[in-house]
């Protein structure tokens, strides 16, 4: 509002004070403090000393590289599944059949209820003796006997992935549905007049046009999945035998459960480095899309 | 017509939707079934979807057997409400500044807000823990409210800023020409016309605040009287005798408030949630 300002003024900055204050205190300062702590031997003892890169040498000499690999694998599977299920879900909900309004409403609950409570329900479902999945699978003859989904390494790993997909899918679906609905019906009609089949139109019109949305959502989803804590913590606390220990879980265990703040901070810094590269890529992609849409408008 | 389906296509679509919704809703269904079962039927083999003696008894006995249950639900509400109020106080002026004023560093500050949003609470848990300890906030509501608010501010700014940018600026400028002060304009002009947008942001923030109540409560609070519902229920898990039907009943009662809000306001909530992710 140039007209309202005139002289260079501090008023807009004053408007930012409350938001900046909270964000600096709770996010920005802790971020810098994490970096500082990662170079110290901070723990429960009252003093801390600067120890250089010792924490980093220590974590990389142990099983941490394995944890990084597992985190990326976990994230890759989960995000891919969310995208595949999300595209299929959005396609189904985008079809012109009676009752689709109600069905769209029914998609959101996993996203809006407290994550922890949704995961409590999953924890019961994974119960081998009395849970629904094992029970129904035995009834259908898929499983010969009770199977404790969270009991062995492979089962626990994929079970946490499935629950993470469950929490993330509604957002992906609704977002992609919005992208599909913004496609001009003229395009479909023109292709339809030319005799293009529904599958052909999906492949040649819908899919290319929602690709930017898929890419955006995929990256955002990757960032959220990388930060995911509640789901794994409630289902397995990183077990059995470390099979679901992602970087976040590892950091939390080191820092909060074992009070090794310095070592935990070094792990957190590694997470921040990975997250920053995702974020940088995300912003790069957005600016490229913005440019392209500008040049299209001309 | 273009949207006319053949009968087998309609069958296929409904079948696909049914499978999709089954995946989404199965945990709720299972929780509801467990909450209806008597305790001795929950642990029965083989698995049966419908068991004998199903009743709503757990919904009455849980208030007595799960100590502090009403308190947990109240705490969840109280924390989410406080978070929403703090977020609105911080976000309304900030979003107005980003939407309407030209000032040095505006775009970089906005980008910094969004970038910072990429780091989750669990990553920063160590300094946050020390901060809460040093401020003497461990085991208080504040330790769950303030961090909860901080991580919801960036999205809320983004959402409200997009809304404010769509409001024509003539009204503000007219008030300015008439000699109104800027705080007066914010209070008397912006606030009333932006109300629908503010309400959407408030609802999205409340739901976000209600949904995220686990990590901070788990880490910063060990006073059982202050726990929000998720951590309150989580504490039962380690025990030998988990009263599963009552735990599930309590979980369902605990999510009922947000589900009711959602059903009535789903149009706005979906708009709010997707706009939060759509960076125009």
- Give chain B's domains with CATH numbers: 1-55 (no CATH), 67-277 (1.10.3720.10)
Q: Does the structural domain A17-297 have CATH classification 1.10.3720.10?
A: yes
Residues contacting residue B5 through CB under 8 Å, at least 6 positions apart: A95, A96, A97, B13
Q: Which residue has the higher pLDDT, B203 or B237?
A: B203
A26 to chain B nearest CA, in Å? 6
State residue A187's pLDDT score: 83
φ, ψ of residue A50 to 5 degrees: the values are -75, 125
Among A4-8, A178-182, A292-296, B97-101, which stretch is predicted with the lowest mean pLDDT?
A4-8
- Rounded to the nearest integer, the mean pLDDT of chain A is 85
B67 to chain A nearest CA, in Å? 18
A22 to chain B nearest CA, in Å? 6
Q: State yes or no: pLDDT of A249 exceeds 90.
A: yes
- The partner residue sitting opposite A108, judged by closest CB among B126, B186, B270, is B270
Q: Which residue has the higher pLDDT, A291 or B161?
A: B161
State residue A98's pLDDT score: 83
Nearest CA in chain A to B111: A283
Asked if B108 has any chain A CB less than 8 Å from its own CB, the reply is no
State residue A296's pLDDT score: 60
- The partner residue sitting opposite B125, judged by closest CB among A129, A255, A286, is A255
Confidence of residue A294 (pLDDT cuts 50, 70, 90): low
Q: Which residue has the higher pLDDT, A16 or B172?
A: A16
Mean pLDDT of the region B117-131: 88
Q: State yes or no: pLDDT of B257 exceeds 70.
A: yes
Contact B101 A95 (CB under 8 A): no
A185 to chain B nearest CA, in Å? 10
Angle (nearest 5°) at CA B218 between B217 and B222? 85
- The partner residue sitting opposite B255, judged by closest CB among A2, A18, A117, is A117
Confidence of residue A7 (pLDDT cuts 50, 70, 90): low
Share of chain A above pLDDT 70, in %: 95
State residue A298's pLDDT score: 44
Asked if B30 has any chain A CB less than 8 Å from its own CB, the reply is yes
Q: What is the DSSP string of chain B?
A: -TTPPPHHHHHHHHHHHHHHHHHHHHHHHHHHHHHHS-HHHHT-SS--SS-TT--SHHHHHHHHHSTTHHHHHHHHHHHHHHHHHHHHHHHHHHHHHHHH---TTHHHHHHHHHHHTTS-GGGGHHHHHHHHHHTT-TTSTHHHHHHHHHTTHHHHHHHHHHHHHTS-THHHHHHHHTT--HHHHIIIIIHHHHHHHHHHHHHHHHHHHHHT-SHHHHHH---GGG--HHHHHHTTTTSS---HHHHHHHHHHHHHHHHHHHHHHHHHHHHHHHHHH---
Q: Over the stretch A31-49, which tens digit does the pLDDT of each residue have?
A: 999 999 888 888 877 778 7
Confidence of residue B88 (pLDDT cuts 50, 70, 90): very high
Nearest CA in chain B to A262: B126
Contact A283 B259 (CB under 8 A): no
State residue B2's pLDDT score: 63
Q: Which residue has the higher pLDDT, A229 or B54?
A: A229
Contact B44 A130 (CB under 8 A): yes
Mean pLDDT of the region B128-135: 90
Contact A31 B47 (CB under 8 A): no
Q: What is the ipTM of this complex?
A: 0.85
A279 to chain B nearest CA, in Å? 7
State residue B256's pLDDT score: 87
Q: State yes or no: pLDDT of A100 exceeds 60.
A: yes
Among A30-34, A87-91, B164-168, which stretch is predicted with the lowest mean pLDDT?
B164-168
Q: State yes or no: pLDDT of B277 exceeds 60.
A: no
Share of chain B above pLDDT 70, in %: 92
pTM, full prediction: 0.87
Mean pLDDT of the region A229-247: 89
State residue A165's pLDDT score: 95
Identify the three-state secondary structure at position A40: strand
In a mutational test of the B interface, the residue from A28, A39, A86, A120 whose CB has the highest number of chain B CBs within 10 Å is A120
Contact A121 B30 (CB under 8 A): yes
Q: Over the stretch A122-160, which tens digit does the pLDDT of each residue have?
A: 988 888 777 888 888 888 878 877 778 888 888 899 999
Confidence of residue B240 (pLDDT cuts 50, 70, 90): low
Mean pLDDT of the region B187-209: 86
Highest mean pLDDT among A74-78, A235-239, B121-125, B203-207: A74-78
Nearest CA in chain B to A131: B47
Q: Which residue has the higher pLDDT, B188 or B82?
A: B82
Asked if B1 has any chain A CB less than 8 Å from its own CB, the reply is no
State residue A3's pLDDT score: 47
State residue A271's pLDDT score: 92
């Amino acid at each position: 509002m140039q007209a309202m300002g005139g002289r260079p003024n501090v008023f807009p900055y004053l408007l930012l004070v409350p938001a900046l204050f909270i964000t600096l205190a709770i996010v920005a300062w802790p971020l810098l403090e994490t970096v500082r702590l990662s170079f110290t031997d901070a723990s429960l003892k009252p003093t801390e000393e600067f120890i250089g890169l010792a924490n980093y040498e220590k974590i990389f000499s142990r099983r941490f590289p394995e944890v990084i690999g597992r985190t990326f694998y976990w994230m890759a599977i989960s995000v891919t599944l969310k995208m595949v299920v999300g595209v299929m879900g959005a396609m189904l909900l985008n079809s012109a059949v009676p009752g689709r309004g109600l069905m769209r409403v029914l998609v959101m609950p996993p996203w809006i209820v407290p994550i922890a409570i949704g995961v409590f329900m999953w924890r019961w479902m994974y119960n081998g003796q009395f849970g629904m999945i094992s029970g129904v699978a035995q009834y259908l003859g898929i499983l010969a006997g009770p199977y404790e989904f969270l009991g062995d390494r492979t089962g626990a790993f994929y079970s946490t992935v499935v629950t993470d997909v469950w929490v993330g899918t509604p957002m992906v679906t609704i977002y992609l549905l919005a992208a599909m609905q913004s496609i001009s019906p003229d395009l479909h009609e023109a292709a339809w007049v030319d005799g293009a089949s529904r599958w052909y139109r999906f492949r040649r019109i819908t899919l290319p046009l929602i690709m930017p949305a898929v890419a955006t959502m995929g990256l955002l989803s990757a960032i959220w999945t990388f930060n995911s804590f509640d789901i794994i913590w409630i289902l397995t606390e990183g077990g059995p035998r470390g099979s679901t220990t992602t970087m976040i879980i590892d950091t939390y265990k080191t820092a909060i459960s074992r009070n090794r703040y310095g070592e935990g901070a070094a792990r957190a810094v590694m997470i921040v480095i990975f997250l920053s590269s995702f974020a940088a890529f995300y912003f790069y992609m957005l600016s490229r899309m913005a440019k392209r849409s500008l040049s299209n408008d001309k | 017509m273009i949207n006319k389906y053949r009968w087998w296509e309609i069958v296929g679509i409904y079948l696909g939707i049914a499978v999709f919704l089954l995946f989404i809703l199965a945990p709720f269904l299972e929780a509801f079934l467990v909450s209806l079962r008597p305790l001795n039927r929950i642990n029965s083999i083989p698995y049966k979807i419908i068991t004998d003696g199903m009743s709503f008894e757990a919904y009455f006995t849980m208030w007595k057997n799960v100590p502090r249950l009403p308190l947990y639900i109240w705490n969840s509400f109280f924390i989410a409400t406080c978070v929403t109020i703090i977020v609105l106080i911080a976000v309304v002026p900030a979003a107005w500044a980003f939407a309407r004023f030209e000032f040095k560093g505006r775009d970089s500050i906005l980008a910094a807000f969004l970038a910072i949003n990429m780091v989750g609470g669990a990553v920063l848990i160590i300094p946050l823990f020390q901060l809460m300890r040093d401020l003497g906030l461990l085991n208080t509501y504040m330790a769950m409210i303030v961090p909860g608010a901080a991580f919801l501010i960036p999205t809320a700014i983004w959402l409200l800023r997009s809304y404010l940018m769509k409001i024509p600026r003539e009204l503000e400028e007219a008030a300015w020409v008439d000699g109104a002060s800027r705080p007066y304009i914010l209070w008397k002009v912006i606030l009333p016309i932006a109300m629908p947008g503010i309400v959407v942001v408030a609802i999205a923030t409340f739901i976000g605040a209600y949904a995220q109540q686990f990590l901070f409560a788990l880490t910063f609070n060990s006073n059982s009287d202050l726990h929000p519902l998720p951590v309150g229920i989580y504490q039962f898990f380690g025990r030998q005798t988990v009263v599963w039907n009552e735990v599930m009943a309590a979980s369902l009662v605990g999510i009922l408030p947000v589900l009711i809000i959602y059903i009535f306001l789903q149009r706005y909530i979906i708009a709010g949630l997707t706009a939060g992710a759509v960076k125009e």
